[in-house]
Amino acid sequence: MTNLYTLLLGGALGLYTLGMATGFIYLFQPRPQKTLWCKRFIQAGALVHLAAFIERCILVQTLAVTNLHESLSFFALLLALAFLLVGRKTSIPTLGTFISPLLIIFTMWALIISHKITPQPPILKSFWLPLHVLLSFAGNAFLVLGCITSVMYLIQEHLIKKKKIKGIFRKLPALQKLDELSYLCLRCGFPLLTLGIISGSVWASFAWGSHWSWDPKETWSLITWLLFAALLHGRMNSGWRGRKASFLTIIGFAAIMFTFLGVNLMLSGLHSYAH
């Protein structure tokens, strides 16, 4: 059974890689293309990835986010799904090109490290765990997607300012569109992240008897949350947009990555994954 799971996950990685290859060909080839292969490959990859995830959930009898391997894989899956969801609303052909490297990194990382099923301590067995993780991860997935859009914004903005009107300038979408999409991701991601933190706190009061214990993960979540709260406030009330908002989104991305991975790998605490 584990073999099937690894096979599916590997298949997803292969499809994401094809997505990245076709995405970069699309970006740099001057010919217009009718079919967006990049998006199709990511779509197929996400489907296979979802199958792998379901398989794993059946295997571990709960939402498969109990260790680093599962978390990385699940996060990549959510990122792909968030991309496809956003892609239904606004069509940005090159977004897939920029998102695919992240999908590949996370999935590959998940594949490289140990797949061993970690037995859960009974204290963590609760329906709050899947809820808390799902909300936080989904929130982060949207925020990371917003960050990718911000990177694209900065590239396109640089090209327009420096008057380099050729090559990928033609393939990248309008600045306004990128800025709007980044804002949309923020508005989707931030409430989810907030709910994720709240649900975690509620669960903590059941499990450990305290809402908040200043464990490193909690502290860093708060820092991330405050950063995005500031950004959202700035966008809503102070007319932050464009470059400024993009830079902040990218700083936010760094905070997310540190909260998600750095804390677990470098600092120890209640949230650390059992290796």
- Site for another protein, rule CB under 8 A: 30-32, 156, 160-161, 163, 165-166, 169-170, 173-177, 238-244
Nearby residues of 18 by Cβ (< 8 Å), 6 or more positions away: 37, 41, 45
Q: Which is nearer to another protein, 102 or 186 (CB)?
A: 186
CB 177 within 8 A of CB 156: no
Under 8 Å between Cβ of 225 and 193: yes
To another protein, the closest distance from the beta carbon of 175 in angstroms equals 5
Residue closer to another protein (CB basis): 88 or 121: 88
Residue 55 vs 179, nearer CB to another protein: 179
Q: How many CB atoms lie under 10 A from the CB of residue 113?
A: 13
CB of 98 to another protein, least distance (A): 17
Helix axes 128-161, 242-257, angle to 10 degrees: 140
In the complex, minimum distance from the CB of residue 160 to another protein, in angstroms, rounded to a whole number: 6
Which two structure tokens, joined as six digits, stand for 182? 């980044």
Written as six digits, the tokens of 258 are 């540190």
Least CB distance to another protein at residue 250 (A): 16
CB of 224 to another protein, least distance (A): 25
**What's the N-to-C CA distance of the chain in angstroms?**
21
- Tell me the C-alpha distance between 245 and 69, whole Å: 32
One DSSP character per residue, 215-245 reads: -HHHHHHHHHHHHHHHHHHHHHHS---HHHH
Which residue, 170 or 211, has its beta carbon nearer to another protein? Answer: 170
**Least gap, CB of 162 to another protein (angstroms):** 10
Q: With respect to another protein, which residue has the nearer C-beta, 3 or 238?
A: 238
Output 187 or 243, the one with its CB closest to another protein. Answer: 243
| Minimum distance of another protein from residue 167's CB (angstroms) | 10
Comparing C-alpha atoms, which of 176, 178, 183 is closest to residue 236? 183
| Other Cβ atoms closer than 10 A to 57 | 16
Contacts of 36 (CB under 8 A, 6+ apart): 26, 93, 96
Give the residue with the Cβ less far from another protein, 170 or 275.
170
